[in-house]
Amino acid sequence: ATTKKPVVRKVVTPSSQAQSLNDKLIEALPTAGIAYSPSFEPLIKVPVYFWSDIPSFFTKRIEIVGELVDVKLKPTFFWHYGDGVVYVTDKVGAPYPDGQIRHSYSKPGHYMIELITQWAGDFTVQGVTAHINGDIQTVSVLPITVVAAPTRFTPPITYNR
């Protein structure tokens, strides 16, 4: 399956101390591409494998008011499958058979997958390290259509002896 670039919006709840740092981070953070397999009409009651192209950690050197700031963040993923189920993990996922992020839909239909990536970590300025306050999030959305398996009746095979 190819990674599909979803609709992306970035959300931040800034802290008063790190407003400028948060703004710079929001501009620099990678946005998640969401992929799933099977990528064409997954079936109900069969696991769908999900993954993202977000790195397992993010480092960046940012200049703020003449100071160099080194930032290291780790993501936490909130997978909203569109049917009321949410899965929280620090794994990026993978396609079948290695993927740990799987979900089976019980009814056919059109669903919106929403992946919220919440970033937390530390920043270092002139050798002093501090935790980044505030919630920094990116949100990606991608539609998925799940179908019912067709029912086929086949005649019994009879053997003549």
Dump pLDDT digits (tens) for 69-92.
Answer: 999 999 999 999 999 999 999 999
Q: How far apart are CA 126 and CA 70, in angstroms?
A: 9
- DSSP code of residue 159: -
Residue 127 has pLDDT above 80, yes or no: yes
| pTM, rounded to two decimals | 0.77
Residue 113 has pLDDT above 90, yes or no: yes
Q: How far apart are CA 92 and CA 22, in angstroms?
A: 23
**Mean pLDDT of the residues in the chain:** 85
